[in-house]
Structure 1
Amino acid sequence: MAEETTDELMRATYRALCKRGYAALTMRDIADESSKSKATLHYHFDGKHDLLVSFLEFLDERFARKIAAIDADDPTARLFALLDVACPSAEGDSGEFQTAMLELTAQAPYEKAYRERLLGFETRLRAEFERVLDSGVESGAFDDDVEPERTAEFLLTAIDGAQTRRVAVGHDADKMREMIRNYVETAVVSDESPRRTEVRAE
């Protein structure tokens, strides 16, 4: 499939998910959001399941590009930039899409292909957190008692919980995002870090 066609169909899938959610989503809904016919979708994908597996791969590739685009060598700046990518503000995020993704994620225990893609995404994010935490501890930017593996796991759990609570019970996403950032500021960043000094000066 041509890259242009793939991009159009994936973006159409995004729009359809925002409007219809996962459970009610049909191939017709996706076709209606693109310039392609339903027959074209069925030519490239066996059905909704196959298309959504490709959509998860598309999201993972896009996320990888966002991480690669982070232009920060300083461990503290890179960690906060990574948090911004992994846990965006509500203003720049679609609540409808997050709802649809929660529905899709709930199918992972029963759908191996979904589970494998979601696990790949989580593994990538965990590795990025561990890498920057290791670098920060080694450079002295982060407290020397920070355990990269445990801290990365905590951050993953906190981000996942924040997103789930936002969708399930309407918690303020930006407040929860700020709590995660405050945790990093107080429990991870060293007292000697320039960022901590700047925060105290404010």
Structure 2
Amino acid sequence: MSLPAEPFADSATSREEIFRATYVAHIEHGFSDLSIQQIADEATLSKSTIYHHFDDKQHLLMEYARELLEWYMEEILLDPAGDPVTRLEWSLDLVFLGETANGITLDDIRPEGLDCVYLGLRMQAARNPEIKEYFDTVDRMARKRLATLIEQGVEEGTLKDVNPDHVAATLYVMLEGGLYLRSTGSETEWLGHAREMLDAYLETLKTDD
């Protein structure tokens, strides 16, 4: 498969340009210390234009993080080419093995700095109700995407008549845990053992055809 462009590369609106400038500034300066001025310096827009679209810096960063994660999950991680089973196996290989059968690695497709944004926000969610609500939305979106793949597999006859929501919940927990461990540890070879067990789980879902 061909890899997509960087996030927000084709900005068509002021809002998208702000997200693109935020991405560039975030890579250069980090996420936690990012300022509106640094974002404005990377854009062709003024600070007043940024405040026209967003109430404050936290509002901007939350919306930016949401867009970045949606782009990552929809365009890359959960949407490779192929039938539903191939798509699931592709994502599981990427997360647990770090590389797909056709040689694409997680680092090839993961936007620079995404780990810092994602893990940093996850930590803040424990004490910030607004961020916790944000992740409720993100988690629902990811589970829905997985459930849609399962439903498609059932309709096409490659998967048994399983409960898509239950299977999606199980796979999402596994994928989230694998991404977290791969992002925060240096010894990740052992994740391959978990991938073998997940392969056995997928086999129980497939039809005999």
Same fold per TM (> 0.5)?
A: yes
Structure-2 change in CA distance of 1:80 and 1:92 (3 Å)? same
Matched, 1:28 2:46: no
Match of 2:57 in 1: 48
Q: Which has the higher helix share?
A: 1
Matched, 1:8 2:24: no
Residues 16-64 of structure 1 show CA distances to partners (whole Å, capped at 9, x for unaligned) of 2233333212112222222223343233322211102321342365357
Match of 1:196 in 2: none
Structure-2 change in CA distance of 1:61 and 1:75 (3 Å)? closer
Structure-2 change in CA distance of 1:153 and 1:69 (3 Å)? closer
1:116 counterpart (130, 133, 138)? 133
Alignment of 1:52-67 (within 5 A): 52-59=61-68, 62=71, 66=75
Alignment of 1:24-173 (within 5 A): 24-59=33-68, 62=71, 66=75, 72=82, 74-80=83-89, 89-94=106-111, 96-137=113-154, 140-142=157-159, 148-172=164-188
TM-score (norm 1): 0.69
Letter in 1 for 2:24: R
Structure-2 change in CA distance of 1:20 and 1:155 (3 Å)? farther
Q: Which runs of 5+ in 1 are unaligned?
A: 194-202
Structure-2 change in CA distance of 1:150 and 1:48 (3 Å)? same
CA distance in 1, matches of 2:147, 2:168: 6
Aligned residues between the structures = 188
8 Å CA contact 2:36–2:47 kept in 1: the answer is yes
CA distance in 2, matches of 1:188, 1:94: 28
Q: Which runs of 5+ in 2 are unaligned?
A: 1-10, 97-104
CA distance in 2, matches of 1:37, 1:24: 20
8 Å CA contact 1:137–1:143 kept in 2: the answer is yes
Structure-2 change in CA distance of 1:127 and 1:51 (3 Å)? same
8 Å CA contact 2:84–2:152 kept in 1: the answer is yes
Alignment of 1:155-194 (within 5 A): 155-172=171-188, 176=191, 182-189=196-203, 190=206, 192=208
Partner SS for 1:100: helix
1:113 CA displacement:
3.2
